[in-house]
Structure 1
Amino acid sequence: MTEQGVRWTAEQVLALAPDDASRKAGARLGGAGPWSQTGGSASGAVWGLCKGSGSKPYRTVVDLSGPAYNCSCPSRKFPCKHALGLLLLWAAEGLDTSAGTSAEAPDWADGWLAERAAKAARPAADRSGRAEPADAEGARKRAERRAARIGAGVTELEQRLADLVRGGLAGQERAGYAAWEETAARMVDAQAPGLAGRVRELGTIPSCGAGWPARMLEEASLLHLLDRAWLGVSGLPEPLAATVRSRLGLQPQTDGEAVRDHWLVLAQYDTASPDGRLTTRRIWLRGLASGRPALVLDFGPPGRPPGLALPVGLVLEAEARFRPGSAGLRADLGERFAPAAPCRTAPTGVSTGAALEAYGAALREDPWLESWPVVLGPVVPIPGGQQGGRQGEQQSSATWQLADAEGTSALPVPQTGAGSRSGTGMWQLAALSGGGPLTVFGECGHRGFTPLTAWHPDSSEPVVLG
């Protein structure tokens, strides 16, 4: 598990940086030189004044239980270089926050920390932002009107998909993206943002290289399935109906289950929307007591990274509230009960066969689920062109695999698509392995296994695969 006050590593601090420029600037501020009036508390906060270009130093404070940051600098990056530098100073034991040595926070830091504490102390219902509508009948009518608009949008999309199949896929490369963007805009007008996102992804497939017709047909089929599910949503079992509503972009009608646990941060990475207007940060967690996986999403507007950042390898004692639908994966982090600290052991892995079984079971709850989070281990990375998996089975020169250490089965690593680790990341994984077994976390889906983080048997330090 973890110990109170255990410090992060410099790598875990720098993983919080929103970009390379902030990472380099923060590293330059990681020494004691520019800092004065630094201090920390055993409850998990550090603060200090950092000399800048102006006449007054910047006031910087970090709540380690978030982590959350506050700085008087004008930077729009989050965390800023001053917060990164302060955390690096703390990680290098330049600040002592152990019990009995804690300093009293200055007023400017104490005020911000007190405000965060008061917000966390509010009842969970208040923090969720969900309240009973003042006019229940009016809310019901608005929901009915929205359902009718979505129904009209779904019917229009079904006609668009029928035209696609009737006309064939061959002309889609020449047709371009504009027609699909127009269809996506119509789904936005119908108040179905989930459908709009899937339509935009469908429109980008013809420009994705070899094999695009099969991928486009797959995505069109999933869209058709979602359309039909919405048109018959009233007759579906409630868990599946909740999944359909979430896939269309509707807010859940009820609160989900709240689970308090020590949550290990397994992976964190960003993806951009097809139009580049939104950055989505995916953070994978695993409950050390419950074993339950959780996916936390955060979003950044154009020009700004998402605000939430959790370094891989840290453990948070927190409450996670799971949203209905989506195979029970999507969760929001609630109250946190202690500062985050590094995990002392690597997670326990399963075989490749068990990973496929877990993904298959999840598909029964959410047929649109592209992947399922799995910790594999022990497994051995097999470069393309070598034998792996079942004895005598030869793979193509372009395909990497992760094979069970016993050699009974293997999973291919996708060579294209979002999150692919077939290039630098796979050679990084092979170098870490040295031909021996590893523990690897990643996403298991219908195209194979995408590795994201690895652990060497002799170390509990995670290696994030680039």
Structure 2
Amino acid sequence: MAVVWSSEQILALAPDAGSVKNGKALATANKWQNLGGTDRVLWGECQGSGKNPYQAQIDLTEPAFKCSCPSRKFPCKHGLGLFLLHTSHTNLFTQDALPDWVQDWIDKRSQTAQKKEEKQKAPVDEVAQAKRQQKRSDKVSAGIADLDLWLQDIISSGLADTQAQSYGFWDGMAARLVDAQAPGLARRVRQLAGIANSGQADWASKLLVALSQIHLIIQGYQRLDNLSTELAAAVRSQVGWTISQDELLGSFQRGEVTSEQDDWLVMGKSLTEDANSNLKTQRVWLLGQNSQRIALILNFAVRNQPIDISWLPGSLVPTELIFFPSSYPLRAVDRDRQDARQPETIPGDATIELAIDRYRQALIQNLWLETFPLLIKDVTPSYSAGNWSIRDREHNYLPLELADLRGWQLLAISGGRSLTLMGEWNGRQLRPLGVWHDGGYWQANVGEVW
């Protein structure tokens, strides 16, 4: 790979703090034997508690990990240790002839990629697809009609009554929407319970905003035929209608969706998990070096399933992105991705005001945006009265969603000087995901508040 992995970037791949600790402990030469590597793959054998050593290997093109140990974590401590060892002691990886167990794995990965490509090219049974979509459409319409009546009852009774409602009141409607195959609305309904019972002074205004957003989705869905193609796609997305990657590629080939060829800066990534479904969602935020276009790569995994870790935050990736249709296209998939490399310069908005204006313009086009990436240059971490924020060159401040310990770590990285910070903005606070400072990139541990 053209990109050079730092130890901080490797450790950011770890699934938890225990894996970080154990991976570091295994990044020593005396723990390994039969180390080898090529431009594509690394491998080594690590003696564990059993008779035979564990065989660990890394496909650097993504990266992807495989290990013969019984761990359910991905990557496991052996994969992390092997990767860290290669970063610090490349000279130890002397073998370049792939062992059979490594060659078999690489061959299987190539075969899987080929089958996926063939599947994408296979013709779609449009008649059967249309029948499935109509059946689901009927279910969704019925569920939305029930949701509309439910919202009217809440408004008629008054917001104060919602604080007396049990969790079952909210979960019952959410479950109804799941049955109606409208998961996007179900998620929003579940969030209402947390707002109503948050105990915050402004809970009523926040609840009214959330209810209003759901109401607008309902009204938009019931009038899809009167909306522009882009706005209708945004409304359907909020309801929970999804477009598979195969369908998206088909639309691209017919010229129905847009694409962008660029060198994409991987600004940062975050990981969230839905406690109700055990669904993990990873967001990877990209910025086109030439187009200045923002893009979002979404990856999903359930429970202990591995999740894509191929996008290296802080790197520059030449690729073509195909965008899902929307009134403000953000989500995309890539095709013909090339090797990543280190960026020569880091872009970003010069002030907080410019960054918020970029968010405002996006919100005008899609008012249901829940998170939006901000990349701001020359900001300094600031601490006051128990709260963290950043200050720009014009002495404007932006509040951060930051655990106290992580705040001090951020301040230590900056050394009290300005840095370039990227985070997810929710309209109230900025959650830091990564910073550039003194020529290096520091990434927040995925799944944590810095």
Q: Shorter-chain TM-score: which interval?
A: 0.7 to 0.9
Aligned residues of 1:66 and 1:336 also touching (Cα < 8 A): no
Shift of 1:441: 1.0
Residue 151 in 1 paired to residue 147 in 2?
no
1:391 alignment counterpart: none
SS at 1:461's partner residue?
A: strand
Matched to 1:379, the amino acid is: V
Structure 2 CA distance for aligned equivalents of residues 311 and 140 of structure 1: 39
Aligned residues of 1:184 and 1:195 also touching (Cα < 8 A): yes
Deviations 1:12-51 (A, max 9, x none): 1111111112211211111111211111112x21111221
Deviations 1:344-379 (A, max 9, x none): 544443322221221122123311002321211222
Residue 291 in 1 paired to residue 292 in 2?
yes
Aligned residues of 2:301 and 2:307 also touching (Cα < 8 A): yes
SS at 1:327's partner residue?
A: coil
2:81 alignment counterpart: 85
Deviations 1:388-409 (A, max 9, x none): xxxxxxxxx56654333033xx
Aligned residues of 1:257 and 1:321 also touching (Cα < 8 A): yes
Shift of 1:116: 2.5
Matches within 5 A, 1:23-422: 23-42=20-39, 44-95=40-91, 103-120=96-113, 124=117, 126=118, 129=120, 132-134=123-125, 136-210=126-200, 211-252=202-243, 254-255=251-252, 256-275=257-276, 277-302=278-303, 306-308=307-309, 310-325=311-326, 327-338=328-339, 340-343=340-343, 345-384=345-384, 397=385, 400-407=388-395, 410-413=396-399, 420-421=401-402
Matched to 2:280, the amino acid is: T
Shift of 1:112: 1.6
Identity of aligned residues (%): 37
2:441 alignment counterpart: 461
Matched to 2:440, the amino acid is: S
CA change 1:45–1:342 in 2 (3 A) is farther
CA change 1:357–1:226 in 2 (3 A) is same
CA change 1:398–1:90 in 2 (3 A) is closer
Structure 2 CA distance for aligned equivalents of residues 222 and 421 of structure 1: 27
Shift of 1:463: 5.0
Structure 2 CA distance for aligned equivalents of residues 202 and 176 of structure 1: 12
SS at 1:267's partner residue?
A: strand
SS at 1:378's partner residue?
A: strand
Structure 2 CA distance for aligned equivalents of residues 445 and 165 of structure 1: 25
Aligned residues of 1:61 and 1:69 also touching (Cα < 8 A): yes
SS at 2:30's partner residue?
A: coil
SS at 1:183's partner residue?
A: helix
SS at 1:12's partner residue?
A: helix
1:20 alignment counterpart: 17
Shift of 1:199: 0.9
SS at 2:193's partner residue?
A: helix
SS at 1:284's partner residue?
A: strand
Q: Which has the higher helix share?
A: 2
Gaps of 5+ in 2: none
Deviations 1:386-434 (A, max 9, x none): xxxxxxxxxxx56654333033xx35315xxxxx226333444344445
Matched to 1:380, the amino acid is: T
Deviations 1:34-87 (A, max 9, x none): 211111112x21111221222222221111110111122222111111111110
SS at 2:303's partner residue?
A: coil
Structure 2 CA distance for aligned equivalents of residues 73 and 317 of structure 1: 35
CA change 1:224–1:259 in 2 (3 A) is same
CA change 1:9–1:348 in 2 (3 A) is same
Structure 1 window deviating more from structure 2 (176-185 vs 278-287): it is 278-287
CA change 1:130–1:327 in 2 (3 A) is farther
Structure 2 CA distance for aligned equivalents of residues 138 and 276 of structure 1: 29
Shift of 1:191: 1.0
Structure 1 CA distance for aligned equivalents of residues 105 and 389 of structure 2: 49
Aligned residues of 2:351 and 2:392 also touching (Cα < 8 A): yes
Q: TM-score, normalised by structure 1?
A: 0.85
